[in-house]
Copies of this chain bind each other. A is one copy, B any other.
Amino acid sequence: MAVYTQIGAEEMAALVNEFDVGELVSAKGIAEGVSNSNWLLETTGRDGSGARFILTMYEFRIELEDLPYFLSLLDHLAAKGCPVPRTIHDREGALFRRRGEKALALIEFLPGVSVSEPTVGQARAVGAALAQMHAASADFAGSRANGMGLAEWQRLFDECGPDSLASIDPELAGLVAEQMPKIAAGWPKGLPRAVIHADLFPDNVLMLGDRVTGLIDFYFACNDLMAYDVAVTHAAWCFDATGRNFSAELSQALLEGYESVRPLSAEERAALPLLAQGAAMRFTSSRAYDWLNTPADALVVRKDPMAFARRLQFYAANPEVFA
């Protein structure tokens, strides 16, 4: 939620001139991105009628070797008609530019806002957009392993340690110890795979009314089970922020929307209760780690791990949600 690096107007104008997008007219640092800095740029456009872009500077965490995967994925999906922003290539055709130790990419700006209280119509549209993305990725040549899979959740919990988990909530350590082995043992093999978004929270979807205008922030995208992506999106959209209140209407709409584009197989349906527990465990693990490792006075707002521990308990107790 910050701009970590200052880029002077003169350097920004020179940078924009490395792309065929017209002259720089405006540049505003935007308060998005935890591991990168972002600017909303306006230029005169190629034809003088104005154009807008997001400039992203990759500062931390994301390995430069993964950037071609993320950025060419955007191009691939946009070319297939998915509502994702295109990567703007520079005059030499490059997907990104280097700036010292960092990297810079120019990405199409898309209209739309991120809803905080989704409606049934919005949940349906997001389900359909997710399925469209899965289908469109079938012939994408890139491949990337899921860096936030089961082994990583376990590693994050181990780094926290049971005492620290208990300091977050007395029930948390026991829940993890009980559920992690069950999820690992039951994890399905052989379900259909594709490029998955793996982090499709409302924050990462731009909408105008019931229409999805943008799927954004693909920096967890990887090749993995499509049904797991459905489970992540379900966990992200069908509860209130506390994880205490499940919405059967949003759940039904999301799944219907998905299946309107890509029907789930019987095996995928059967696996969803466990995959959803896995999805809830994944965000419990990263939030618990961040909770314990974020200074209390940091400007970053810590997100409550228990909001996902509660989802985990809900999914374990209510497999019929996916029946």
Contacts and interface: CB of A to CB of B under 8 A. Distances in A.
Interface of A: 1-3, 8-10, 12-13, 24-32, 40, 42, 111-117, 206-208, 295, 297-299
A101 to B, nearest CB: 19
A32 B27 CA distance: 11
Contact of A2 (B10, B31, B42, B116): B31
Nearest to A29: B31
B115 A9 contact: yes
A104 to B, nearest CB: 17
A24 B299 contact: no
Q: How many copies does the complex hold?
A: 2
Contacts of A26: 111-113, 206
Most buried by B among A25, A114, A207: A25
A30 B27 contact: no
Given A1-B2, A1-B3, A113 B31 contact: no
Contacts of A112: 25-26
A84 to B, nearest CB: 16
Contacts of A29: 1, 30-32
A3 B31 CA distance: 7
A234 B13 CA distance: 25
A295 B298 CA distance: 11
A319 to B, nearest CB: 32
A202 to B, nearest CB: 9
Contacts of A3: 1, 31
Most buried by B among A9, A10, A27, A111: A9
Nearest to A11: B116
Contact of A30 (B31, B116, B295): B31
B31 A40 contact: no
Contacts of A208: 25
Contacts of A30: 28-31, 40
Contacts of A42: 111
Nearest to A208: B25
B2 A113 contact: no
